[in-house]
Amino acid sequence: MIGKTVIPFGPQHAVFPEPFHWRLVMEEERVLDAIPGIGYMHRGIEQLATRMEFAKTLFLAERVCGICSFMHALAYAESLEKLMDVEVPPRAKYLRTIWAELARLQSHLLWIGLAADAFGFESLFMQAWRVREYVMDMVEFTEGGRVMTSSVTIGGVRRDLHEEAIEFLLENLDKLEVGFEEVYQVFTEDPLIKHRTVGVGILSKEDSIRLGAVGPTLRGSGVAQDMRMLGYAAYGELEFQPVVEDSCDSYARMVVRLKECFQSINLIRQAIKKLPDGDVLVKVRGKPEGEVVTRIEQPRGELLYYIKANGTKSLERFRIRTPTLSNLPPLMHMIKGACLADVPVITLSIDTCIACTER
């Protein structure tokens, strides 16, 4: 009988792109208990927002996360529009939808590459990122920046899609679909990947709700919940169903993300087809007052913004709850009882984004 050992895992570890620490209490190869340690990159965005002008805070919100920057800007703009009673023109709503789906695609493809890398599948990692480059091109062509797009503003969007851009989008979507199909096949058929993920990191349906899981983690456990069903931006007018998998393991969460890529491609095509004409921006006057809760589906799950404004030029309270923060308790639950070698795969399976967790 061997006693308990405590293994510090991280903050610098080969599979995590960001500093994230696990304190693993082990008995032989099994994890008995796991305590996460975060806070290596806290930037104090919530406090800074209460001292900046609200219009400039948009750019601050965009910088909460380096991957889903568009989603944060969208959530912020949607919240302030609710506070200030601004009706966004329909064309702007559709453009927001298109860009939000592009952001989801690039984030999922990024994760797919990283996951392949964590399995030790280097060539698949490169294939996934090669496909991702089509998305990055689309983002840069239509929004002007690869990561920090600054394309949403309060009252609409700052850029319009002209004919040429729409052609570019459709052309690249076709290329992307063909390329992604190959990656998808490898992921769903390869025995090695199945061996690493099937039955690893089980999170049952009841646990997922009780522990507050969000996004693909929740949908991988058989709960059909997708914040896009709330119908923000133009989602209310497009046809889609949340992707749900029932096997509750890391494999299910992976398949949810893979299938969501196809769903995003489909949504972009639908939105382009229905794209209405007209303005993309309305003038916004006055100062925000009141409080609002906005929920938006990020690639990693539900994002909650709570904003309280008091009619001055800065906000009174700016609260961000990012999806990874909600997914930490389910992750602790999944890791208990797992092998040490599975810890990286399970941790990756919720798609951790530490920077936005610490904002």
Partner 1 sequence: MFEMLNTILKNLFSGPVTRPYPAQRREPFASTRGQIKSVIENCIFCMRCQAACPANCIVVDRKEQTWSVDPYRCIVCGMCVEVCPTEAIIMNRHYRDPVKHREPIVKHQEGPIPKINPKAKGIN
Partner 2 sequence: MLAGVKEITKDDLLEEVQKLAGENWRLISITGTDTGSGIDLIYHFDQELTLLNLRFQIDYGETIPSITPYYFCAFVPENELKDFLGVEVTNLPVDYQHLFIISELTPVKIPLLRKAAGDDAGEVKPE
Chain residues in the site for partner 1 (CB under 8 A): 52, 56, 58-60, 63, 130, 133, 137, 140-145, 148, 150, 158-159
Rank residues 168 and 240 by Cβ distance to partner 1 and give the closer one. 168
Smallest gap, in angstroms, from Cβ of residue 1 to partner 2?
A: 27
- Which residues of the shown chain bind partner 2 in the complex (CB under 8 A)? 35, 38-39, 42, 44, 46-48, 51-53, 209-212, 225, 227, 229-230, 290-293, 295, 302, 304, 306, 308, 314, 316-317, 319, 321, 325-326, 328-330, 358
* Residue 167, burial from CB neighbour count under 10 angstroms (0-12, 13-18, 19+): exposed
159 binds, options partner 1, partner 2, none, Cβ within 5 to 8 A by partner type: partner 1
Report the b/e string of 249-278 with b at 16+ CB within 10 A.
Answer: bbbbbbbbbbbbbebbbbbbbbbbeebeee
130 binds, options partner 2, partner 1, none, Cβ within 5 to 8 A by partner type: partner 1
Rank residues 190 and 207 by Cβ distance to partner 2 and give the closer one. 207
Smallest gap, in angstroms, from Cβ of residue 67 to partner 1?
A: 17
HEC profile of 250-307 = HHHHHHHHHHHHHHHHHHHHHHHHHCCCCCCECCCCCCCEEEEEEEEEECCEEEEEEE
59 binds, options partner 1, partner 2, none, Cβ within 5 to 8 A by partner type: partner 1
How far apart (Å, rounded) are the C-alpha atoms in residues 268 and 272?
A: 6
Amino acid present at 351: D
Smallest gap, in angstroms, from Cβ of residue 140 to partner 1?
A: 6
Smallest gap, in angstroms, from Cβ of residue 231 to partner 1?
A: 29
Query: In the chain, what is the straight-line distance between the N-terminal and C-terminal CA atoms, in Å?
Result: 43
Rank residues 150 and 225 by Cβ distance to partner 2 and give the closer one. 225
Smallest gap, in angstroms, from Cβ of residue 185 to partner 1?
A: 9
328 binds, options partner 1, partner 2, none, Cβ within 5 to 8 A by partner type: partner 2
**Which residues, in sequence order, are bridge partners of residue 302?**
297
Residue in this structure with the two tokens 């795969």, named with its chain if needed: 345
